[in-house]
């Protein structure tokens, strides 16, 4: 399972509080659409109340699901305004 959230003014809160809650819950990946900066932030690999992997994709980037029957590339531009 993964979660996608959109953040405008709440980005700092999302990076600190929400990602920790999701990591402690065992959610394998958390994506946050940064509405101000225009990037897609991906946090993965929950461990010890935080995520061990964090990457920011710009509009031209893409992400690949790690599991599932359909591992098609999801373009960051499709999730950004």
pLDDT per residue rounded down to tens, the chain (81 residues): 667 778 788 888 887 888 888 888 888 788 888 888 888 888 887 777 777 787 888 877 777 666 555 666 777 787 777
Give the pLDDT confidence score for residue 71 in this predicted structure: 61
Q: Which regions of 1-81 does DSSP assign to beta strands (E)?
A: 2-7, 29-34, 39-47, 50-57, 62-63, 74-75
Q: Count other Cβ atoms within 10 Å, centred on residue 62.
A: 13
74-75 and 62-63 strand pairing: antiparallel
Give the pLDDT confidence score for residue 68 in this predicted structure: 55
Which pTM value belongs to this model?
0.68
Give the pLDDT confidence score for residue 64 in this predicted structure: 66
Delimit the domains of the chain by residue range.
Answer: 2-78
Rg (CA), the chain: 12
């Amino acid at each position: 399972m993964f979660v996608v959230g959109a953040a405008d003014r709440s980005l700092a809160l999302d990076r600190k509080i929400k990602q920790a809650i999701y990591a402690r819950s065992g959610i394998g990946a958390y994506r946050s659409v940064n509405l101000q900066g225009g990037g897609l932030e991906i946090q993965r690999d929950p461990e010890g109340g935080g995520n061990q992997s964090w990457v920011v994709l710009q509009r031209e980037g893409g992400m690949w699901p790690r599991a599932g029957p359909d591992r098609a590339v999801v373009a960051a531009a499709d999730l950004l305004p």
